[in-house]
Each structure stands twice: as structure tokens, then as C-alpha cells.
Amino acid sequence: MTKGRIAGAAIVALVLLFALLGPILVPGDPYAQSLAKALSGPEAAAPFGYDHLGRSLWHRLAHALRLSPLIAVASVLTAGIAGLALGGIAASRGGWIDRGLTLLADSLLALPGLLMVLIALSIAPATAVGFWAGLSLILWVEFFRLTRATGRAVLGSPAVTASRLLGFGPGYILRRHLWPEIAPVLLTAAAFGAATAIMGIAALGFVSVGMRAPTPELGLMMVELLPYWREAPHALLTPVTATFALLLGLVLLAGGRQA
């Protein structure tokens, strides 16, 4: 682990810790309004102040920071498993299966990633399931390419040929040859995938085609609070800072990807 990765892991852990423990430390409701306090500053019951509808930003932020990472983790897990499986099949089978899957992956890369999410969302509007399906559909490509590239190199190596000749099956080769090569880069791919997912959810929320009000969601909070920038800069800065911190943490955790 490099210094950057440790710092990244620490930032992500801090943000997630706030999301989990925030509402326990200061009990409250992200939907409860007290209009008299709209846009007012921090107080004991609402340490980050209030938004334009008099809802506690502390609680809205904590719930938003539960929603996006949860969708991101679910999508990365689905995409990771699918990408590993398909990449493994492509690398070991070769031939037209390999060519077909690679073509499919390359073509998905050519389309704007958010398109799949938008279409999934038009089938299941404003739901976590829609986001999960759309994001999984675009994120598996990275895992697939990674597994296929590593897999081809490993499966062609003399070590694997030796294992095969000794009579070991595909399960053994997967566990003892392929997995040790892929595992270290999986963390990088997963962190980038999670960052992509969180960015996508926030970006669509920001242009009002993602989650819908009154759900607390990072991008949605930003676009709701943007008109009140002059009256209450702290209100807009709350989701902006949190989103940036989370993404910075994930990018640092991913580590330097070589160009």
C-alpha cells in the first residue's frame, strides 16, 4: 500500500463512517421540515444547518451518502462477477466466443456510459434498481477486459501448461494461477468502478433525471441548493464537499493507473 492509497482508504472510511453513525449520534429525520429555520446555520439538532425547505442537512447528507455507495457497491459486485466470469471464458475458450464478447465490450465502450443508465431508468424510473442495472451494464466491461488480458497471458504460460499436464482441472488453475495475478488489479478496478457509479448517480441527479425529490441524493441536493448559493453558501457546500471527498478518496484508493 502506498501513502496515497492509505490516505484514500482513510477518506472513504471517514465519509462512510459519517453516513453510518451520523444519524445515530444526532437523531433526526431527513424528511422532517421546520420551515421557520429554512437556510439557517448549524445548531445542536442539525450540525450542518438547514436546507431551503428547513430539513436538516446533516441527516439528508448522511442518507444520501448511504444511498449512492450502496448502489455503487451492488453494481461493482455484479459487474465484477460478470466481468470475471465472461473474461475467464473469453480467455480460456478463445475463438468466436472471445471475438464476440470483445466486440460487445468494445461497442459498449463506444456508447456514452450514461445512456445505458438512462435507458434502464426509463424502464424503472427513479429507483435504485434502475441505477443498479444500468451501472452494472457499463461497469462489467472494465472487469472483462482486465480478466481477459491477464487470463490470456497467464493461460499461455508454461506454468499453466505444466499444471494441465499434471492433470489439474480448471478450478485449480483458476485458484492457483489466474486469481493471484488478477486480485491486485481488482482493487483498482473496483475503486474506479465505484467512483464512476457515484459520479453517474450524482450527475443524473444534478440534471434532474436521476433520483427524484424528496429522496436525499447528492446531485439532487446540489441542484436544489444551487439557487440559494448567495443566501446560504454552507448549504450548497455541504453536498459538494462530501461528494468531492468521497470521489477523491476512491481515486486515491485506486492508485496511479499507468498510462
Partner 1 sequence: MPLLSRALQAVMVALIVGVATFLMMQSLPGDAAFRIAAGRYGYDNVNAGAAEAVRAELGLDGPLLGQLLRWMGDLARLDLGVSLISGQPVWGEIAHQLGASAELAAAALLLSLLIGPPLGIIAGLNPGGWFDRALLVVSTALKAAPQFLIGLALIVILAVELRWLPAAGYGEPQHFVLPALALALGLAAVSARIARNAAAEAAASAWWRFSEGKGLSRNRTLMRHGLRNLAVPLLTCVGLQFVTLVEGVVVIESIFGWPGIGHALVHAVFSRDVPMVQGAALTLGLSFVIVNAMIDLALRRVDPRGAA
Interacting residues toward partner 1 by CB under 8 A:
103-104, 106-116, 118-119, 121-123, 195, 199, 202-203, 206-207, 209, 219, 222, 226, 229-230, 236, 240, 243-244, 247-248, 250-252, 258-259
Smallest separation (angstroms) from partner 1 to the CB of 143: 17
Q: Which is nearer to partner 1, 155 or 221 (CB)?
A: 221
Q: Which is nearer to partner 1, 122 or 157 (CB)?
A: 122
How far apart are CB 106 and partner 1 at their closest, in Å?
Answer: 5
How many angstroms separate the CA atoms of 24 and 21, rounded?
5
Q: In the complex with partner 1, which residue's Cβ is closer, 215 or 243?
A: 243
How far apart are CB 218 and partner 1 at their closest, in Å?
A: 10
Instruction: Pick between residue 91 and residue 199 the one whose CB is nearest to partner 1.
Output: 199
CB closer to partner 1 out of 34 and 102: 102
**Nearest CB to partner 1, comparing residues 156 and 227:** 227
